[in-house]
Amino acid sequence: MADDFDKLTDDEEVDEDLDEDLDEDLDELSDEANEGLPSVRIKMFPTGTRGSAFREKNDPLSPWQRRNVMQRKGAFNIQCTCMDIIHGKMGLGSNALATLVVLKFRFDKRRLGRRITSADLSLEFCGMHAEATRPAVHAIAPHDRYAIVETTLHREDSSERNINLNLSAFQAMNGGGGYTVRRATSQDLTDATTVCGSIDLVGYPSGDPNCASWTLLENEAQKTGVPSSLQVAVLLKRKTKEKFKCMVEVKARADLKTRLEWLLGTPPEDDPVLFDPEIKPTNNLGTYDTNTLGELKLESLWGVGLVGSKKTDVSKPNE
């Protein structure tokens, strides 16, 4: 009986949270009515199709370093996959240990007229329990801000205004009385799809940073949505050979239909990814020198995918 009461209480709390989210969204719609696409920042939990509420769980028989980190289906097929996990050392002559993690996020549209305008991705690393030593995020790729496929939109506007003058009847009969002022303006609007990466400290008041995060922003001028995929790399610095874990989270802005589907769903809670430094390197993307992971060029491990594009132009703006 007590369990039923607790479950009922939890369900009521979820319903209240969803009602609050929906009220906030409806308030935003009035403000955004004249701004084109209405959107709100929410957690991704698509509903309405088979597999949309699927939650990734660790296999009890083999819980370590699962390949499928996240999977959602709905208006978008949202996935996060472990491409490579390499444990080793930072470098020769150093006692510091290291772990390389390469993940690939996918945002595949499955319905017409849908798009994700921005997405926030975060990887939070911590120990297996509160007192355990946590790894530090030493480097990530991409880091800072990058522009992807920059575009320029040329726009021209013109206007005219008639100005009447108070003239005498004689002047008016002779063609006087007013004139027309014409004004023409032109401008070039430059925009690009962008990705921005940062290293942060989350959940702790002090210490080394333990979180890697990225933000994807669409090209607002072209309204093409975020890239269909983003591959990222994280280099962790460890003090011990203790096991550790990572919580992966995705938040996004989307079109109105998609976000209403997300709001009416139940937020899935995936198991954290568990890491064991004793596991051998996966070496899916190549062979790594496990003794010098700190010397690895992470820039060679990240990339983006755009629908219909054979080659992606990535540039880092001057600071």
Domains in the chain with CATH codes: 68-151+176-305 (2.60.40)
Model confidence at 42: pLDDT above 50: no
What integer pLDDT is reported at residue 38 of this predicted model? 36
Q: Where are the beta strands (DSSP E) in the chain?
A: 42-43, 68-72, 76-89, 97-109, 116-127, 136-141, 144-164, 178-200, 211-217, 229-238, 244-254, 273-275, 303-305, 314-315
The residue-averaged pLDDT of 157-167 equals: 64
Residues 6+ apart with CB under 8 A from 29: 38, 256
State how far the Cα of 246 lies from the Cα of 232, in Å rounded to an integer: 15
pLDDT at 189: 64
- pLDDT exceeds cutoff 90 at 50: no
For residues 75 and 265, what is the distance between their CA atoms, to the nearest angstrom? Answer: 13
Between residues 28 and 122, the one the model is more confident about = 122
pLDDT in tens, 126-154: 999 988 999 999 999 999 999 987 777 65
pLDDT recorded at residue 98: 98
In the block, tokens 């009385």 appear at 177
Residue 29: predicted pLDDT: 43
pLDDT of residue 9: 43
SS3 category, 85: strand
Q: Which amino acid is at 237?
A: K
Highest mean pLDDT: which range of 26-40, 148-162, 242-256, 297-311: 242-256
Higher-confidence residue of 45 and 198: namely: 198
pLDDT exceeds cutoff 50 at 21: no
Q: Directed axis angle between helix 256-263 and helix 2-32, to 10°?
A: 160
In this model, does residue 318 exceed pLDDT 50? no
CB atoms within 10 A of CB 237: 18
- Quick one: pLDDT at residue 163? 64
pLDDT band at 190 (very low <50, low <70, confident <90, very high): confident
Higher per-residue pLDDT: 45 or 248: 248
pTM of the complete model = 0.71
User: Once rounded to an integer, what is the mean pLDDT over residues 156-175?
Assistant: 59
Q: Which residue has the higher pLDDT, 248 or 261?
A: 248
